[in-house]
Amino acid sequence: MIIHEVIREVTTSATDSYAIQLGAFKLKANADAFRKKFAALLDKEVEIFVENGFYKVRITGFGSRKEVDDYIPLLKRNDVNEMWMITLKGMQNIG
């Protein structure tokens, strides 16, 4: 399995959170079908985000990196060969 890692800073939260991106699609219908498949398999929220002209399917709601790591075997068993692990670094909004 290929795992890409991305870290983003967010000012909307003071705590870190994690997400797994499973795919990015040009067609919304393809993203919807992919989302439905994984939503039926997992006990986490599977959402679609629109960025840069793509519909990105992500599993959200992870509170720790260990929790993300625990999901990897399940994803491998369901034919996920590549994913993006996204760390959202919580930043204190000082204003």
- The pLDDT tens digits of the residues spanning 52-92 come to 999 999 999 898 999 999 989 999 998 899 999 998 877 66
Contact 22, 57 (CB under 8 A): yes
Mean pLDDT of 26-50: 94
Burial of residue 64 (number of CB atoms within 10 Å: 0-12, 13-18, 19+):
exposed
Decide: helix, strand or coil at residue 46.
strand
Q: What predicted TM-score, i.e. pTM, was given to this entire model? A: 0.81
Which percentage of the chain shows pLDDT scores above 90? Answer: 59
Q: Is residue 25 pLDDT above 80, yes or no? A: yes
